[in-house]
Structure 1
Amino acid sequence: MHVLTNSRLRLPLLILVAIAARALTFGNPVVHVDEEFYFVTGSALWRGMLPFVDVWDRKPVGLFLLYALPAGLGFPAGIWAYQALALASAVATAWLVARLATRAGFAAGATAAGIGYILWLGLLGGQGGQSPVFYNLLTIGAALLVLRGGRAAGIAAMALVGVALQIKYSVVFEGVFFGLWLLADAWPRTRRPLAVLTYGVMLIVVALLPTALAAAAYAAIGQGQAFVYANFLSIFHRNPDPLGELAGNLGQIVLVISPLVALAVLALHRAEATRERRFLALWLGVAIAGVLVFRPWFDHYSLPVLLPACAAAAGMLGRGDWQRWRTPALLLTAALAGQIVLVALRGERGDARQFAALAQAVGRGPGCLYVYSGSTMLYVASGRCTSSRYIVPSHLGRTREAGATGVDQDGEIRRILAGQPAVVVMRPPYGGERPQARALAMATMATGYRLAAALPMGNETISVYKRAR
């Protein structure tokens, strides 16, 4: 176990583990539907299209700006680029997890904690470029600055939180916790309520500044209302998923993350209480609470919990009796399970070869594309124009989104089909789909389109319809 306790080997070991853990995803444009859409929107930015105005979604604009960097390389080079960026972010985050574990007095298990972070990413939907893969790096950077203490470090920490908020707004829970911790730290030094209050206001302003600048930019072009609705209001109009589906999602998260959380709790309980360990314990509670608040509990929603959980779990992973066989056995089991998950997901969602065949069937000719349901990555692969600002199929097709997108779903589908897109792509019926939406699309396919191809994509057959001449 010398390798796991040698800090000089930590970074190269984390890089090797990350490459091995994620290699099956490299170059695959259909790793996850979310990443496909982020890449499509990043590509749209280069054509002058604006999120919330020309391409609708609830994610902050910072996430799309981040994806615009690799998307600028085009397809397929940009796919490799965003996955390389995600790999680098995962490794850097794991390295900082190890730094945090060391600071908490768990140095012997720090490298194992970093490896655990990388491996559990793949078990919880973070095998590609999900938003937490990127904002977790900012969050843990902020956490280390918070623990450093001092006014300048506190302001820098909240600046990182502010940038992270523009990748995913759920970081607000960690941001509030970090801010309160900084204020509690500041009180003994000053004992002046006004000084602490002024400092608190400054921290809030710094954290909210990136979001305020984004809102101001949209307001300046007359799109302030579109920004506010998409970013802050529409989420409250979304309908809940069936209880059984919610319970299944939450159960999956609990099953996968519970070993790390249990180790973290056990380590913190057995170790002597210190400032850093109290911080980890409180942060772990806040992160778990943040997951529980946001339904429908997709697996990647729990990725922020990995930061405090892995850092604290180092207290158990580094124990002498654990390092003899329990720690390597746990990490090897997670590594094997991660590869099984990747193979299973590729079988379910498809791979680069299948996607290439589907993109060829869609073709690059004139006329717009309408992905009624299926892969939005077809827009960039085919180079065809979009038929609506509602590119995410579920925004128009799912019951969950009824009344939550600012548009009448059936009315928008009718408008799209009335525009006679050159190509329409449809996957088979899926759970949560509105039957009336599919009926609208199929009625048009029956009268004005021909089935040009029916190709496998994972465990489904995707239909490609082309307008009849």
Structure 2
Amino acid sequence: MIAASPAIVSRAYGAVPRWATLLFVAVLARMITFGNPIVHVDEDFYFTTATRWLEGALPYVDVWDRKPVGLFLIYLPAAALGVPLGIYAYQLMALASVVMTALLIARIADRAGWQSGATTGAVLYILFLNFADGQGGQSPIFYNLLVIAAFAVVLPRVEDRLDDPRRFARAAAAMLLFGLAMQVKYSAMFEGAFLGLWLLWREHRLGGSPARIARIALPLVLLASLPTIVAWASFAAIGHGDDFLYANFGSILDRRSDLWYLLLLNFLKCVLILAPLLWLASRTWKMPVGNAPAGAVRDLAFGWLAASLFGFLVFGSWFNHYTLPVMVPAAICASGFIGSDGLGRRLALPLVIGSLAIGQIVVISSILIRGTDHQIEAFAQAIGRGPGCLYLYSGNSALYTYTRRCAVTRWTFPSHLTRNREEGAVGVDQAQEIDRIFEKRPEFVVMRPPYPGERPEIRARAIAHLKQDYRRRGEWPVGNLMVDLYEAKETPAR
């Protein structure tokens, strides 16, 4: 059975266009998440923030977070459709981004001389996303497309010449794409820095003088910085430049580290997720290089993989979705061994089937832990719509969107006010903000059970307010948790 797998895989891939194969695999891998507004707490919040932005609340000013504004811009079209239609919309946008990224993975693998394993490598990228919370609209799902597009634009060509102005145009486009990627997630800067240095090295290899390289370097840096400069200038023009700067940069430096055992656990999970792709890529590294142009593309791909690993390691925290950017160059490099080595060809089908099966188990487990659209809709119905405000001490940001109730704080991502690592890193004293929130007497308060990394003194402070001014309305199931709902004893006049 295993010995026949290369022929089976080859016939299966050759029977239909590559894009159709990748689209089919992506739909198959992700379909059980479609319509679920709480696939992950992050994208739940991105959608909620985009919704509030459309209602007039400004990011960093009225809704606080440290993500770049470009990420919320991506979610705006979907948020405009409301719920539940908007949930399907952003997930379809994410699906399209995944398929286009996979197509470019296969295309770059082709250029590296790994044609026979290119489609399988792209399929593995799609399937491995499910191992790391990439089954929805996490930020790397979108910025991976911008990053790989930047690399694809500047792949080495046989006809490359020093005096060809098209080469600089392609380099400029690549750096602008990286600038856009950084306005989705700033961690793209490490891969962008590598590509910028590679472009200058490539200029040197083609005979460029130091003066010429210096003249090229400055505009490339400016193009990579341009989207961030424009974003800051837009906020500065309306008097909120400092809010933008602190949220996007200052708060990152102020944030504390997680507890050591949480960091270690996160890191080990990430190692486990990446190990198969990195092992495949390491086997490709040992394979002989063919012609010079293909060899240049291979060198670029492996350099990119090293840069992405550096970016993953240096950021710390090591949440599983931090592995998603590494999967792109890893899948490209894995294509060589999968398609050109006897063992790799025999492993192709088991890898695809195993990754699909394990990925579905991971996604189903996540749904059981985090919850479903029906649970959120039932919880939102219990809260109801009305003039009274809602405060999520801890819980799902989607409740703001589903109930359309007002917020009493701009820190609507709950853990910003309750997590240890956020103490002193969100622009406000957490305890004082909790007191201020309860002084405003929100009509409803949502509180899930304690979680690792939560500040117990902040929870105790919130519970003291609840005991004094609120009655427990009941508890509702969300995933594997029972989440408490509190209602003000006396609704203040409005």
Which range, TM-score by smaller chain? over 0.9
Quote the Cα distance in structure 2 between the aligned partners of 1:279 and 1:262.
18
Quote the Cα distance in structure 1 between the aligned partners of 2:125 and 2:225.
28
Total equivalences in the alignment: 469
Pick one of 144, 150, 158 that aligns with 1:142: 150
Q: What's the secondary structure of 2:66's corresponding residue?
A: coil
Quote the Cα distance in structure 2 between the aligned partners of 1:306 and 1:404.
30
Aligned 8 A contact 1:4 1:111 in 2: no
Superimposed CA distance per residue, residues 96-146 of structure 1 (whole angstroms, 9 cap, x where no aligned partner): 100011111000001101100000011111110000000000100001112
- In the other structure, the counterpart of 1:405 is 426
- In the other structure, the counterpart of 1:423 is 444
Q: What's the secondary structure of 1:127's corresponding residue?
A: coil
Structure 1 residue 324: deviation in Å? 5.4
Structure 1 residue 52: deviation in Å? 0.8
Structure 1 residue 260: deviation in Å? 0.5
User: Is 1:126 equivalent to 2:137 in the alignment?
Assistant: no
Structure 1 residue 451: deviation in Å? 1.3
User: Is 1:391 equivalent to 2:412 in the alignment?
Assistant: yes
- In the other structure, the counterpart of 2:45 is 37
**Aligned counterparts, 1:61-72, within 5 A:** 61-72=69-80
Structure 1 residue 188: deviation in Å? 3.7
Unaligned runs of 5+ in 1: none
- In the other structure, the counterpart of 2:350 is 329
Quote the Cα distance in structure 1 between the aligned partners of 2:208 and 2:333.
31
Unaligned runs of 5+ in 2: 1-8, 161-166
Structure 1 residue 63: deviation in Å? 0.3
Quote the Cα distance in structure 2 between the aligned partners of 1:299 and 1:60.
20
Aligned 8 A contact 1:402 1:409 in 2: yes
Quote the Cα distance in structure 1 between the aligned partners of 2:371 and 2:41.
11
- In the other structure, the counterpart of 2:282 is 265
- The amino acid of 2:115's aligned partner reads A
Quote the Cα distance in structure 1 between the aligned partners of 2:263 and 2:345.
39
Quote the Cα distance in structure 1 between the aligned partners of 2:404 and 2:102.
37
**Aligned counterparts, 1:2-21, within 5 A:** 2-3=10-11, 5-6=13-14, 9-21=17-29
- In the other structure, the counterpart of 2:91 is 83
- In the other structure, the counterpart of 2:224 is 207
Quote the Cα distance in structure 1 between the aligned partners of 2:286 and 2:318.
28
Scaled by the length of structure 2, what TM-score is found? 0.93
User: Is 1:318 equivalent to 2:339 in the alignment?
Assistant: yes
Q: What's the secondary structure of 1:370's corresponding residue?
A: strand
Structure 1 residue 189: deviation in Å? 3.7
- In the other structure, the counterpart of 2:184 is 167
Structure 1 residue 237: deviation in Å? 1.0
Quote the Cα distance in structure 2 between the aligned partners of 1:322 and 1:106.
15
Aligned 8 A contact 2:338 2:345 in 1: no
Quote the Cα distance in structure 2 between the aligned partners of 1:52 and 1:3.
52
Quote the Cα distance in structure 1 between the aligned partners of 2:483 and 2:137.
24
Structure 1 residue 44: deviation in Å? 1.2
Q: What's the secondary structure of 1:285's corresponding residue?
A: helix
User: Is 1:454 equivalent to 2:462 in the alignment?
Assistant: no
- The amino acid of 2:82's aligned partner reads G
Q: What's the secondary structure of 2:477's corresponding residue?
A: strand
Quote the Cα distance in structure 2 between the aligned partners of 1:3 and 1:393.
50
Superimposed CA distance per residue, residues 225-261 of structure 1 (whole angstroms, 9 cap, x where no aligned partner): 1111111111111111111110110111111111101
Pick one of 432, 444, 460 that aligns with 1:439: 460
Q: What's the secondary structure of 1:92's corresponding residue?
A: helix
Q: What's the secondary structure of 1:456's corresponding residue?
A: strand
- The amino acid of 1:26's aligned partner reads F
User: Is 1:353 equivalent to 2:374 in the alignment?
Assistant: yes
- In the other structure, the counterpart of 2:3 is none
Structure 1 residue 265: deviation in Å? 1.5
Q: What's the secondary structure of 1:451's corresponding residue?
A: strand
Q: How many percent identity over aligned positions?
A: 47
Q: What's the secondary structure of 1:52's corresponding residue?
A: coil
Aligned 8 A contact 2:339 2:345 in 1: no
Quote the Cα distance in structure 2 between the aligned partners of 1:146 and 1:334.
31
Pick one of 103, 117, 120 that aligns with 2:125: 117
Q: What's the secondary structure of 1:452's corresponding residue?
A: strand
- In the other structure, the counterpart of 2:265 is 248
Superimposed CA distance per residue, residues 269-319 of structure 1 (whole angstroms, 9 cap, x where no aligned partner): 213171011111111111111000112100111111111110010011113
Root-mean-square deviation over aligned CA pairs: 1.3
- The amino acid of 1:437's aligned partner reads I
Aligned 8 A contact 2:75 2:90 in 1: yes
Quote the Cα distance in structure 2 between the aligned partners of 1:160 and 1:365.
43
Quote the Cα distance in structure 1 between the aligned partners of 2:389 and 2:407.
6
Q: What's the secondary structure of 1:147's corresponding residue?
A: coil
- In the other structure, the counterpart of 2:6 is none
- The amino acid of 2:186's aligned partner reads Y
Q: What's the secondary structure of 2:445's corresponding residue?
A: strand
- In the other structure, the counterpart of 1:309 is 330
- The amino acid of 2:442's aligned partner reads P
- The amino acid of 1:288's aligned partner reads L
- In the other structure, the counterpart of 1:50 is 58
Quote the Cα distance in structure 2 between the aligned partners of 1:198 and 1:41.
41
Quote the Cα distance in structure 1 between the aligned partners of 2:111 and 2:406.
52
Structure 1 residue 323: deviation in Å? 6.4
- The amino acid of 2:257's aligned partner reads P
Quote the Cα distance in structure 2 between the aligned partners of 1:376 and 1:431.
19
Pick one of 398, 410, 415 that aligns with 1:377: 398
Deviates more, 1:374-383 or 1:263-272: 263-272
User: Is 1:183 equivalent to 2:200 in the alignment?
Assistant: yes
Q: Cα gap change, 1:215/1:365 in structure 2, threshold over 3 Å: closer, same or farther?
A: same
Aligned 8 A contact 1:146 1:178 in 2: no
Structure 1 residue 8: deviation in Å? 5.2
User: Is 1:100 equivalent to 2:108 in the alignment?
Assistant: yes
